[in-house]
Amino acid sequence: MRRPIFSLEVFPPRRNATVGTIYDTLDGLADLQPDFISVTYGHGSQSDRTITARIAHTIRQEYRIPVVTHLTALYSSEERVDQTLDMFEAAGVRAVLALRGDQLEGYEPQGRFNYANELVAYIREKHPDMLVFGACYPEGHSECPDMKQDVENLKRKVDAGATTLISQLFYDNEKFYRFRDMLDAAGITVPVEAGIMPIMSMKSTINMAKRGGVTIPKTVYLLLDKWGDDTNILRSAGVVYASQQISDLAANGVDGIHLYTMNHPGDIRRIWGNVQNLFEKDDGRRL
């Protein structure tokens, strides 16, 4: 039996943070031997492709772990995307998560990549050796009022060449299972990794859920209500909650788990300690 894919996501340090943090994060995660680590990409004025490429290079060359780089393109020209892809290729990247990126107030889109499916098609054409992944939203993307329409739009991304989908975080597995059924009905057959973000603080949980239109189930509200003022206890409860989510997903035949690490290796290691038997190695790495 094929085991689920297991991947991790890290983000580059913010401009005013010390670069060392990301290495502490990678040191703390490398021995979990994920199938890949993905590195996020800034957007609008936050976009700094060199830092994403540098971290990708370190993950690939120093830690010897396959790497996926994110790339947003709404505010990028074709030329800039070309340069970025060349940079990624030079860093040893073999897969890109192709994203449109959020619409930002005060910024004018470049007009070349209005939706992720256009970027997927472009990368497939320009870099046929690269794998292209796409993002998906079990509770629907916040801009799309109709879930069915959102899935139809997702199908364009897959038809354009996305070979794996990684989901936005969710706390209610039932939402994910319903979404999977919708993908089946729409003829989307590529693997879908479930995005799991451990609860790390009351503020971040509520903000993320609000921003992404993610439902907070009653159980999570209870945890936030009881331990919202004590981050240490809340995080312990969050480790247990995420572990339970993962074991339920694995029992239900999930294609993969993508853990949003938030650059907190300690919590991720504890979750891994609880669930690693569910990811026994089979036929080797996926990338």
3-state secondary structure the chain: CCCCEEEEEECCCCCCCCCHHHHHHHHHHHHHCCCEEEECCCCHHHCCHHHHHHHHHHHHHCCCCCEEEEEECCCCCHHHHHHHHHHHHHCCCCEEEEECCCCCCCCCCCCCCCCHHHHHHHHHHHCCCCEEEEEECCCCCCCCCCHHHHHHHHHHHHHCCCCEEEEEECCCHHHHHHHHHHHHHHCCCCCEEEEECCCCCHHHHHHHHHHHCCCCCHHHHHHHHHHCCCHHHHHHHHHHHHHHHHHHHHHCCCCEEEEECCCCHHHHHHHHHHHHHHHCCCCCCCC
Residue 256 binding ligand FAD, by CB under 6 A: no
Please report how close the Cβ of residue 154 comes to ligand FAD at its closest, in angstroms.
7
Identify the residue whose tokens are 């994920």.
34
Please report how close the Cβ of residue 240 comes to ligand FAD at its closest, in angstroms.
24
Please report how close the Cβ of residue 72 comes to ligand FAD at its closest, in angstroms.
5
Residue 49 binding ligand FAD, by CB under 6 A: no
Q: Print burial letters for 170-200: b (CB count within 10 Å at least 16), e (below 16).
A: bbbbebbeebbebbeeeebeebbbbbbbbbb
Residue 34 binding ligand FAD, by CB under 6 A: no
How many residues bind ligand FAD (CB under 6 A)? The answer is 24
Q: Please, which residue, 101 or 198, has the CB nearer to ligand FAD? A: 101
Residue 40 binding ligand FAD, by CB under 6 A: yes
Residue 117 binding ligand FAD, by CB under 6 A: yes
Part in contact with ligand FAD (CB under 6 A); list of ranges 21-29, 94-102, 226-234, 265-273: 94-102
Q: Please, which residue, 32 or 197, has the CB nearer to ligand FAD? A: 197
Residue 48 binding ligand FAD, by CB under 6 A: no
Residue 41 binding ligand FAD, by CB under 6 A: yes
Tokens in use for 97?
């998560």
Please report how close the Cβ of residue 232 comes to ligand FAD at its closest, in angstroms.
28
Cα 200 from Cα 189, distance rounded (Å): 33
For ligand FAD, the binding residue among 63, 107, 115, 221 (CB under 6 A) is 115
For ligand FAD, the binding residue among 21, 58, 110, 153 (CB under 6 A) is 153
Part in contact with ligand FAD (CB under 6 A); list of ranges 53-61, 140-148, 198-206, 228-236: 140-148
Beta bridge partners of 85: none
Residue 54 binding ligand FAD, by CB under 6 A: no
Catalytic residues: 9
Q: Please, which residue, 177 or 221, has the CB nearer to ligand FAD? A: 177
Residue 57 binding ligand FAD, by CB under 6 A: no
Task: Provide the binding-site residues for ligand FAD, judged by CB under 6 A.
Answer: 40-41, 43, 70, 72, 97, 99-102, 115-117, 135, 141, 143-144, 150, 153, 156-157, 166, 168, 195
